[in-house]
Structure 1
Amino acid sequence: MSNEQKILNLVGLATRARCAVFGEDQILKTIRNKEAKLVLLASDIGANTGKTLTDKSIYYGIPCRTFVEEAQLSQAVGKSRRVAVAITDAGFAKKMLSLLD
């Protein structure tokens, strides 16, 4: 199993464990409150949304990575049209970062 698939499985687990936040406004809120431990962006995210989330993550010192396409991310979480996810659990975030880097 590839690292990409392992990460997608972890995103799915984090979603079911309620350790994942979706939607630009909600993600920004978790970043500002320093609840987000990792922000994952789809590679085909819109330019403005991607810049906003990336800039906020950098400002607050939260790791932000561009990952798979929207279709793969949406399938992993079981919802349609998901282009970004904030992981709020440190354990999930640490494991995902180790697989990404």
Structure 2
Amino acid sequence: MDNRQVAFALGLAQKAGKVAAGDFAVRSALNGGKAKLMLIASDAAETSRRELEYLAKSAGVNIITGPSRAEIGSAIGKSPRTAVVITDNNFAVMIQKKCHD
């Protein structure tokens, strides 16, 4: 995974308004059926990771372990984030491709 490419794609999605970031926004997107992909930070706390993975799996959302919390936050112009949700299918596909390159 090229973290720079993932960060670039996350930044584009954020500018387009297709990223839910922050605990409440992530949970709302997952529970509301808007989430297409969830990116969890590689350095996320184990309890947070388990809880978010459970919610994502329950919603049928793909999960990718990505860059660090600081890198995710920086990519979207915010403070460090444990997880973000992509709410657009095209951006979700783009980020998945970047993660598997």
Is TM-score (shorter-chain normalized) higher than 0.5?
A: yes
Q: Secondary structure at the match of 2:61?
A: coil
TM-score (norm 2): 0.90
Q: Matched residues, percent identical?
A: 28
Aligned to 1:72: 71
The answer for unaligned runs of 5 or more in structure 2 is: none
CA contact (8 A) 1:23 1:85 kept: yes
Aligned-partner SS, 1:85: strand
Q: How many residues align structurally?
A: 100
Q: What amino acid maps onto 2:2 in structure 1?
A: N
The CA deviation at 1:47 is 1.7
Q: Secondary structure at the match of 1:93?
A: helix
CA distance in 1, matches of 2:4, 2:10: 10
How far 1:59 moved relative to its partner?
A: 1.4
Distance 2:13 2:47 in 1: 26
Task: Identify unmatched segments of 5+ residues in structure 1.
Answer: none
Q: Give the Cα separation in 2 of the matches to 1:81 and 1:7.
A: 15
User: Does the aligned pair in 2 maintain the 1:24–1:49 contact within 8 Å?
Assistant: no
Runs of 4+ in 1 over 3 A off after TM superposition: none
Structure 2 CA distance, aligned partners of 1:37 and 1:57? Answer: 10
